[in-house]
Amino acid sequence: MLSIINHLPPGLLEVTPVQLNQVLAGPTLIHLKGRRDPPLFISVLLHGNEITGFLALQTLLRRYTDRELPRSLSLFIGNVAAACYGCRRFDTQPDYNRIWNGGDTPEHAMAQQVLEKMRDVFACVDVHNNTGLNPHYACITHLDQPFMQLASLFSRTVVYIQRPDNLLSRAFADFCPSITVECGQPGTKYSVSHTLEFLEACLHLSEIPQHPVAEHDIELYQTIGTVRVPSKLSFGFGDCQRELCLIPNLDHVNFQELPVGTSLGRLNVPSKQYFEVLDENGYNVTAQYFKVEKQEIRTICPVIPAMFTVNEQAIRQDCLGYLMKRFLRGSLISTCTWLFYAFTLVGFWF
């Protein structure tokens, strides 16, 4: 299902994302020769409705139609079919950013084919958008300095993620500095202009610095859990008549440190399940972070939400959002976890 070509297909720089099937048959890897090697690998449209990367790439390539690229480029244009319908993915497809390790679908085989072709790479940048309101930030799966350098070139807000292990940027991290950039909501002018300037800067790098990023140039967070709404529970926002009523503008809490006792919603049924928080190892840790008090779902320790969204389809297809903490070297276990174990032990002995 993968096409591999060594030139820009005619029309690629002119079509809108929904017209992509007029110029591409499906997922496509495009190699373009530049002055320096190895190539910079850029991935766009792994999620069909996250169009910023593709729009930025079109403008970037237009700048080089009659001059040589400063570095070779390998471009991966992912879920072309979903892009034509303006959706993240079809229900019949796997998520294109969960196919880069394991699995036996045609999409998994296609991802392996891309990885086999791309062993000698300068750096990898996978461009995404968020459905909720978030600052622009980069995600890294490794804490090595070149990863942090590349991430801080995009934003001082950087998130260290360890799971899932089947992301594109995680797969590329085995052989080059590799990051995911989250460029805010799709369709905004700034998301495209910021991404464009970042990609242009990457293209001009002769090397990626190996020295540590200055501490004041980076705000490093670590994800500690994924928050889902149980599929059995109906939900809505604001003063709704559903079983779970989440606060309106839930995405406005993203990247804010929430104090203990903050309410994120109201549970209108006597259900023991309201949120499901899974930690990086897949364990249910909901009780470490939330409790229901007089039907209100409240935080029981300070947490920083990220990627919380109010898009109902994104919540059902993916998740409600993530919980994070500030990353401090040497303290991988959060204060919350210590408190949880301390209380569990006290409960055990008394």
Can you give the binding site for Zn ion, defined by CB under 5 A? 47, 50, 128
| Closer residue to Zn ion, CB minimum distance, 50 or 243 | 50
Write out the E strands in the chain: 3-5, 28-32, 34-44, 69-77, 123-128, 137-140, 157-160, 178-182, 219-228, 235-237, 244-246, 263-267, 276-278, 290-293, 296-299, 304-306, 321-326
* Rounded-to-integer distance, Cα 17 and Cα 19, Å: 5
Shortest CB 128 distance to Zn ion, Å: 3
Structure tokens at 54: 């593709």
| Of 71 and 128, CB closest to Zn ion | 128
Residue 168 or 301 having the CB closest to Zn ion = 168
Specify the DSSP class assigned to residue 176. Answer: S
Residue placing its CB nearer to Zn ion in the complex, 46 or 227: 46
> Torsions phi, psi of 113, nearest 5?
-60, -40
Q: Both tokens of residue 166? A: 């089947």
Q: How far is the CB of 221 from Zn ion (least distance, A)?
A: 18
Task: Please report the sign of the dihedral spanned by the C-alpha atoms of residue 21, residue 22, residue 26, residue 29.
Answer: negative
Beta carbon nearer to Zn ion, 129 or 288 = 129
In the complex, minimum distance from the CB of residue 129 to Zn ion, in angstroms, rounded to a whole number? 6
What's the min distance (Å) between Cβ of 350 and Zn ion?
47
- In the complex, what is the shortest distance from the CB of residue 47 to Zn ion, in angstroms, rounded to a whole number? 4
How many residues belong to the chain? 350
**Residue nearest Zn ion, Cβ-based:** 128
Q: Could you tell me if 220 and 327 are in contact, meaning their C-beta atoms sit under 8 angstroms apart?
A: yes
27 or 146: whose CB is closer to Zn ion?
A: 27
CB of 97 to Zn ion, least distance (A): 6
